Amino acid sequence: MALKQSLQQKMLQKLSPQQIQLMKMLQLPTIALEARIKEEMEVNPALEEGKDDARDDADDYQEDDYGEEVSEAEKEFDFSDYMDDDDTPDYKYQSSNYSSDDEEKSVPIGTASTFHDRLLSQLNLSRLTEQEAIICEHLVGSLDDSGYLRRELSSIVDDMAFTQNIMVTEEQLEELLVKHIQDLDPAGIGARDLRECLLIQLKRKEHAVTVRTAIEVLENHYTEFIKKHYDKITHWLEISDDDLKDAIDEITHLNPKPGNSLNESSRPIEQVIPDFTVTNEGDKLQVLLNGRNAPELRLSKKYSEMLDDFARIKGKPNKAQRDAMMFVKQKLDSARWFVEAIKQRQNTLIMTMEAIVEYQRAYFETGDETKMRPMILKDIAERVGMDISTISRVSNSKYVQTSYGTFPLKYFFSESLTNDEGEEVSTREVKKILKDLIDSEDKKKPWTDEHMVKELKDKGYNIARRTVAKYREQLDIPVARLRKEL
């Protein structure tokens, strides 16, 4: 194949390192931004915390091509004098398989005791033979995070034979499971299904009439209970509706996932810190940015003076001086870019939030969810003159504190549908009306999705049944049969 030489003209769009840094910082919430600033200050000694000192000799500073102030000494600094040498820079002897844009994702190692460790610590207090202790430890290790034993006992028998060389029967496993594992705290550990889990918890309670009725319902009428055929249960047990209601209340207060209670207690409490605050001062809505998003950062005066000292060096500098100069120059540029990215982040956040507040003014003034307008990312992007991806980064993982509660920014974005009058309304408005309808229904005869369609149609919202079902599922509301109460 012959070689050919051709001339081509291409237009490419590439992001500068500063733009990439800004895009990454835009999507950071307040807590993550604080950690990012601390990390940058640790790796960059040219970046300091505090207000920038007032410059007495303002005439000695001019703006560079990016609109940033630089000193006269730095402006007159000829970088080529330090690069014009025969020595090969050290970086040419180094190689890196990672891009500077790659995000480092490290997983911290947890040191807290696990759910299974706590069960084993309780098991050590039991009087067991050496073989029984090994079997019980294996049973604890077979529990899932909810505290259930999902594996068949026959499979565990095979595991003990092949892995521990212990011959045990299913009857012996059953006895150890009931006597020792299901006796651990919290109550319900070691159950093989939900029914057994609830029964274990009930049998640990005082045997009052209500508890005995609840046990009878779960043991003999579990299918009718989960299908909410309450009339059949009251007929077979010959009890009143009030007695059955008390028994059902006793059951619903039990823990269906006892293992999760131990896992939740070891998790750190996550606190939501709002990035914005919207206050209603009369007829004016004021948007405030959280002060943590506007840290006071400055360039190190010591490093700037070091660069000035390099500019006054006479003669050709040696290799050590060149390396030191390159390090100082790199750190100062990186610090200046970081401070500029923080400022641009603040401006972008406040512009976006002000556009959202103006678009949803009716909601922020009244707090009425039905007055929320349909809004998508494109609507805000057109208002602030930015790209949709930028608005998406701003709205991601950000929270706003209002007079009516603290909400994520994505809460205010919703799709639209058209009512009978031809007006576009937010789907959130329809969900609010649907929730109000379900809250006001007769729980003894809850409305079906078909009935909800009729009710919404009477209010001017022509919606299909499958759409009502979709909105109901998004609101975590069960079907009519499961909403039935006595």
420 assigned to some structural domain = yes
Identify the CATH number of the domain in which residue 475 sits.
1.10.10.60
Residue 461 located in a structural domain: yes
Does 175 reside within a domain? yes
pLDDT at 83: 47
Split at pLDDT 50, 70, 90, the class of 98 is: low
Answer with the one of 265, 289, 304 that is the final residue of a domain: 265
Residue range 344-359: mean pLDDT, rounded? 89
User: Residue 478's domain spans which residues?
Assistant: 416-483
162-221 pLDDT tens trace:
888 888 888 888 888 888 888 888 888 888 888 889 998 888 887 788 888 888 888 888
- Mean pLDDT to the nearest integer, 53-82: 47
Is residue 283 domain-resident? Answer: no
Dihedral of the CA atoms 7, 12, 18, 22 (nearest 10)?
A: -170
387 falls within a domain: no
> Strands 405-408 and 416-418: what pairing?
unpaired
Cis peptide preceding 186, ω within 30 of 0: yes
Would you say residue 372 lies in a domain? no
CA distance linking residue 261 with residue 115, whole number of Å? 9
Query: What is the pLDDT, as a whole number, of residue 432?
Result: 83
Domain count, the chain: 2
**Per-residue model confidence (pLDDT) at position 288:** 87
End position of a domain, from candidates 198, 233, 265: 265
Q: Does residue 214 sit within a domain?
A: yes
Above 50 in pLDDT, residue 62? no
Mean pLDDT score, 43-67: 58
CA gap 334, 329 in Å, rounded: 9
CA distance 206 to 448: 39
Q: Is residue 74 within 8 Å of residue 307, measured between CB atoms?
A: yes
For residues 56 and 152, the model is more confident at 152
In a domain, 287, yes or no: no
Whether 318 shows a pLDDT value over 80: the answer reads no
Among 248, 265, 282, identify where a domain stops. Answer: 265
Q: d(Cα 122, Cα 180) in Å, to the nearest integer?
A: 10
Q: What is the pLDDT of residues 262-309, one digit of tens each?
A: 555 555 556 778 888 888 877 788 888 887 766 778 888 887 788 777
For 216-270, what is each residue's pLDDT tens digit? 888 888 888 888 888 888 888 888 888 888 888 888 888 888 887 655 555 555 6
Question: pTM for this one?
Answer: 0.59
Q: Tell me the mean pLDDT in the region 7-22.
A: 71
